Amino acid sequence: MKSRHLLWCGGIVSFLLWFSGMQLGYAQIVALGTEEGDSKPHYKASYSTAGILSNASAAHSIPSLSSSSSSKGEDNQLKVYQYKQENGVTAFSDHAPGATKYQVLLYDCYACQLDSSLDWKKMPLFSRDYDELINHAANTHNLEPALIRAVIHAESAFNVFALSRSGAMGLMQLMPETAKELGVKNAFKPEQNIDGGAKYLAQMLKRFDGDIDLACAAYNAGPTNVTHYKGIPPYPETQAYVKRVRILLERYRKPS
């Protein structure tokens, strides 16, 4: 009788999970849990065949609760969702948080500006800035120093006090919740920011089989979007970001 009761309860729980749209999230968690097993999903860098989407199109299924109306300028920036958790802590996410009320913020990414007139192949580099910290983070997390330097350049142009409207902070533009998960207590301290950003970048490389383009796309647009589109997401800003990081990476690899 006890076992029947458990089975009945289990059935109710499964139904509620399905009804609330949680099954997709559960499937993603299972996929992540098997990362080290034979069933680990493998990815290859490619631009999504879903077609180029604006960020407004990507979030079409969930209406914005922001008090301000969308504009053309806003659509050219990556959307970040700010909301309060049940414990009262403010959180940030790259996707809308279900039924919870949220505010849409705009992410000011240096290398994501579609109308940028900068020549990424000739612009001045930051070849010596934070050299010791970058080399230390590269050794700690088994990364190329040139890759860390390229991402910092793309994220903040080496502005240690960079702060986006979404709350992303410092050289590698860490979101508050991400910084906390990475053990970063003060994201405006270069040593903590670079180590935390490098750690997260290494995680993305591991998740996407060492593919630099996919790891950078995940760093910019979130790993769930890369998984969903099975490649570089069809966001113009993200695709521009990946291409520009690639250009910077090749330039930083060359001896100055």
Q: Give residue-wise pLDDT tens across range 215-225.
A: 999 999 999 99
Q: Is the pLDDT of residue 122 over 60?
A: yes
What is the DSSP code (8-state) at residue 95?
Answer: S
Please confirm, yes or no, whether 155 is among the known catalytic residues. yes
Identify the pLDDT of residue 118: 85
The one-letter amino acid code at 219 reads: Y
- More confident: 60 or 83: 83
Contact 204, 147 (CB under 8 A): no
- More confident: 10 or 200: 200
Helix (H) or strand (E) segment spanning residue 237: helix 236-253
Cα distance between residue 250 and residue 226, in whole Å: 23
Q: Is the pLDDT of residue 180 over 90?
A: yes
Q: Which candidate in 155, 191, 237, 250 is catalytic?
A: 155
> How would you label 37-73 residue by residue, b for 16+ Cβ within 10 Å and e otherwise?
eeeeeebebebbeeeebbbeebbeeeebebeeeeeee
Identify the pLDDT of residue 80: 57
Question: 170: Cβ–Cβ under 8 A, 6 or more apart, which residues?
Answer: 156, 160, 161, 162, 187, 188, 189, 190, 193
For the beta sheet containing 78-84, the strands, ordered from the edge strand earlier in sequence to the opposite edge, are 90-93, 78-84, 102-107
CA 188 to chain centre: 19
Indicate yes or no: pTM above 0.95: no
Start-end of H helices in 76-233: 131-141, 145-156, 176-181, 190-207, 212-221, 223-229
Cα distance between residue 197 and residue 181, in whole Å: 11
